[in-house]
Amino acid sequence: MNLFLWVLQVAVALLYLAGGGFKTVNPDDVAKQITALPRGGWRAVGVFEVLGAVLLIVPAAANWMPMLTPLAAAALALETLALAAVYARFSLKLAATNPLVYAVPMALMAAVVAYGRFSLSPLS
């Protein structure tokens, strides 16, 4: 179970790092496509996702405050579910260009990491 959670943690961290990095560096592109948040809001979401991605890996790998890892996973899951609600207001069309298609599975993966690290295989 520990190996599965590590693989999932790394995959989720890379996905959030890529998405958060894009939102941080190019908030204008995201704000043009989805007008629910202003440019600064998208940048803040991106910084939150990048920070969460770092906290998914670094505390667990360094064995320094490993409780931050499941907390970061839970926070990312909640943040992504909130974004999924924003995306759902934007469009419910199931297409590859709709971010809702990616947000829900990412939130579920982050929730699995949070649950796994809280109760199934806690980090020591």
- 32-55 pLDDT tens trace: 888 889 999 999 999 999 999 999
**74-to-47, 69, 112 alpha-carbon distances in Å:** 16, 9, 9
Q: Determine the pLDDT at residue 101.
A: 87
Q: Determine the pLDDT at residue 20.
A: 96
Q: Determine the pLDDT at residue 87.
A: 86
First-last CA distance in the chain: 15
**6-to-29, 75, 87, 103 alpha-carbon distances in Å:** 32, 18, 29, 21
The domain spans of the chain are: 2-120
Distance (Å, whole) CA 62 – CA 86: 35
Nearest to 111 by CA among 56, 57, 62, 50: 56
Q: In terms of pTM, does the model score above 0.75?
A: yes
pLDDT in tens, 49-102: 999 999 999 999 999 999 999 999 999 999 999 999 988 887 777 777 788 889
